[in-house]
Amino acid sequence: MTDLTYDSYLHTDTLLSLQRTRTPDTADRSVALSEQFFIVAHQSSELWLKQLLSDLTAAVDRLSPVSGHQDLEESTELLQRAGVLLRVLHDQVVVLERLPVRHFAQFRPHLGSASGAQSRQFSLLARLVENESDDGTLYRAFTAAALSRGTSVLGICRQGVTAGALHRIAEELLDIGNGYWRWKVAHLGLVAKMMAGQNGSGGTSGADHLLSRIIMPFAELRRVRGQLHETLAPAVP
């Protein structure tokens, strides 16, 4: 049996060969380096999206239906990791602010119609986390888990920590929603900084398109949680 090495396990030769810039050889080398930086940031984001989607899908599987306490605890672990991964994705966007706009303007025409809006994984994440018409697969799995344990989202919010794992899951969902929202806001800020009023690479309206798609996930959970201010606040003389 061939000894496994770090490089053979991670296939680093293949991985490091995938940053294929389209900047002409006649261009300034700094422009090619900036394009490589752009590619690395987006490829890294796609890798983290793969893990994020895997973790969130596994959390949904453990919530629907819940077969025991272990499922709830494992779902909590997965959601906690997902929340951290969203912070990593946010930082991937922030680091792109170090892309000089003069370099981006030079290599951007070589991208053709390629656009981040075409990311299949981002679309899958949106269906898991949020949608313009409902709260997505993840929240539906949570409400089903609550019902299977003889309670509701409102009941969990009222019970607080005494609801145990269900309470922790609700809190993790809110953290994921906040992280998802911050990630999209950071992307909007980056596009507004780099593109101003220019149209997006995929033919979208750029920053205006992104702004129209920023919503806060898990609206029902936030609304139900907010009701506690009306039901639990002490009367003030």
Q: Is 118 helix (H, G, I), strand (E, B) or coil?
A: helix
Q: What is the pLDDT of residue 232?
A: 72
pTM: 0.89
Contact between 224 and 158 (Cβ < 8 Å): no
- Per-residue confidence (pLDDT) for residue 200, from 0 to 100: 58
Q: At what angle do helices 136-148 and 120-129 cross, to 10 degrees?
A: 30
The torsion defined by the Cα of 217, 120, 12 and 110, in degrees rounded to 10, comes to -110
Q: 99 with 34: CB under 8 angstroms?
A: yes
pLDDT of residue 115: 80
213 in helix, strand or coil?
A: coil
Task: Report CA dihedral (33, 94, 204, 108) to the nearest 10 degrees.
Answer: -10
Tens of pLDDT, residue by residue, the chain (237 residues) = 578 999 999 999 999 999 999 999 888 999 999 999 999 999 999 999 999 999 999 999 999 876 678 999 999 999 999 999 999 999 999 999 999 999 999 999 998 888 877 889 999 999 999 755 567 899 999 999 999 999 999 999 999 999 999 999 999 999 999 999 999 999 999 999 988 767 656 555 567 777 777 888 999 999 999 888 877 767 667
Under 8 Å CB-to-CB from 158, ≥6 apart: which residues?
A: 228, 231, 232
CA 91 to chain centre: 11
DSSP annotation of 117 = G
| Residue 18: partners with Cβ closer than 8 Å, 6 or more residues away | 43
Q: What is the CA radius of gyration of the chain?
A: 22
Q: What dihedral angle (degrees, nearest 10) is formed by the CA atoms of 165, 166, 167, 172?
A: 90
Contacts of 90 (CB under 8 A, 6+ apart): 179, 182, 183, 186
CA–CA separation, 80 and 147 (whole Å): 22
pLDDT of residue 131: 59
Question: Looking at residue 44, what is its pLDDT?
Answer: 97
What domains sit in the chain, N to C, each tagged with a CATH number?
26-109+121-224 (1.20.58.480)
* Rounded distance between C-alpha atoms, residue 108 and residue 102, angstroms: 10
What is the spatial distance between Cα 154 and Cα 38, in angstroms, rounded to a whole number? 44
